[in-house]
């Protein structure tokens, strides 16, 4: 990572500039400290990617879970619920610790990876009660998610990135207005189902801490703001593990 990170900082200017602006304008760091945070941010991103493939290979990590009772209560109930991820930490590793016993977790994932990687991920997560739902251009993934909710299962999807849809919700995040995807929150409002936010944060070489939070609110605007507030708290606690490498506020 020590040798690879400078390469990305030199030649991947869009991601570098977005990260630099984050630490300069949202965390109010001076130029030198902001540069250091950008390096640490890229370094940590490389680590979590390596950890993800290590988990595929069977490597065991230590997980500490804060809010396990919130997940267990909803997972053992009859009604379905929504589980929101974000591009911070290493959310995918939650599938190895927060294992559903009574439901199937349908996880919306990026569909642009190679068939080999997708097949390996599907096989691995199937052992833990997780079914992947790739994003499709024909929007068939939306019907698959709705069907999962009708059957009383869990739907997992990102709550911090808009997948090309113009529909968004404006929320206050890190001191400024940012756009969040309307889809997850509109789905929760329409079906009147509970919503959890899950954050999986790297705390050591072989350890992670999982934060489970129950979102407050009944309409899409209040649910979205609740998510943005929870996300902000985690970003402030783990500032080098925010992996949205673009200007989030434009």
Examine the pLDDT at 164 and tell me if it is beyond 60: no
b/e string for 45-75 if b means 16 or more Cβ within 10 A? beebeebeeebeeeeebebebebeebbbebb
**Residue 59 · residue 167 · CB < 8 Å:** no
Q: How confident is the model at residue 124 (pLDDT cuts 50, 70, 90)?
A: low
pLDDT surpasses 80 at 13: no
* C-alpha pair distances (Å), 101 with each of 23, 147, 149, 220, 245: 41, 19, 16, 29, 35
Confidence category of residue 122, pLDDT binned at 50, 70, 90: low
Q: Of the candidates 136, 167, 132, which has an alpha carbon nearest to the alpha carbon of residue 148?
A: 132
pLDDT at residue 127 greater than cutoff 70 = no
Domain ranges in the chain are 61-239
Question: Does the pLDDT of residue 163 top 80, yes or no?
Answer: no
DSSP per-residue letters across the chain: -TTHHHHHHHH-HHHHHHHHHIIIIIS---HHHHHHHHHHHHHHHHHHHHHHHHHHTT---EEEEESHHHHHHHHTSSS-EEEEE-SBS-GGGGGGTS--SSS-EEEEE-S-S-HHHHHHHHHHHHTTTEEEEE--TT-HHHHHHHHHHHTT-EEEEESS---S-S-EEEEEETTEEEEEESHHHHHHHHHT--EEEEEEEE-SSSEEEEEEEEPP-SSHHHHHHHHHHHHHHHHHHSGGGB---S-TT-
Look at residue 114 and tell me whether its pLDDT is greater than 60.
no
**129, pLDDT greater than 60:** yes
pLDDT tens-digit series, residues 33-76 = 999 999 999 999 999 999 988 988 888 999 999 999 999 999 99
Confidence of residue 115 (pLDDT cuts 50, 70, 90): low
pLDDT digits (tens, 9 = 90+) for 200-213: 999 999 999 999 99
């Amino acid at each position: 990572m020590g040798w690879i990170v400078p390469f990305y900082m030199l030649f991947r200017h869009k991601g570098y500039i977005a990260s630099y602006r984050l630490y300069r304008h949202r965390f109010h760091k001076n130029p030198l400290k902001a540069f250091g945070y950008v390096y640490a941010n890229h370094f940590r991103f490389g680590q979590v990617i390596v950890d993800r493939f290590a988990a595929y290979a069977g490597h065991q990590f230590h997980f500490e879970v804060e809010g396990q009772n919130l997940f267990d209560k909803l997972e053992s109930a009859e009604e379905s619920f929504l589980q929101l991820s974000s591009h911070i930490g290493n959310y995918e590793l939650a599938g190895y610790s927060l294992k559903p016993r009574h439901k199937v977790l349908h996880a919306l994932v990026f569909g642009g990876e190679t068939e080999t990687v997708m097949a390996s991920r599907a096989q691995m997560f199937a052992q833990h009660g997780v079914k992947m739902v790739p994003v499709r251009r024909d929007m068939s993934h939306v019907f698959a998610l709705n069907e999962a909710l009708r059957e009383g299962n869990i739907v997992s999807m990102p709550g911090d990135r808009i997948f090309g849809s113009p529909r968004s919700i404006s929320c206050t995040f890190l001191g400024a207005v940012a756009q969040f995807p309307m889809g997850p929150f509109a789905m929760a409002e329409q079906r009147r189902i509970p919503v959890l936010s899950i954050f999986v944060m790297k705390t050591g070489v072989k350890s992670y801490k999982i934060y489970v939070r129950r979102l407050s609110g009944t309409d899409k605007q209040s649910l979205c703001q609740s998510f943005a507030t929870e996300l902000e708290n985690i970003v402030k606690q783990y500032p080098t593990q925010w992996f949205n490498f673009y200007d989030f506020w434009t």
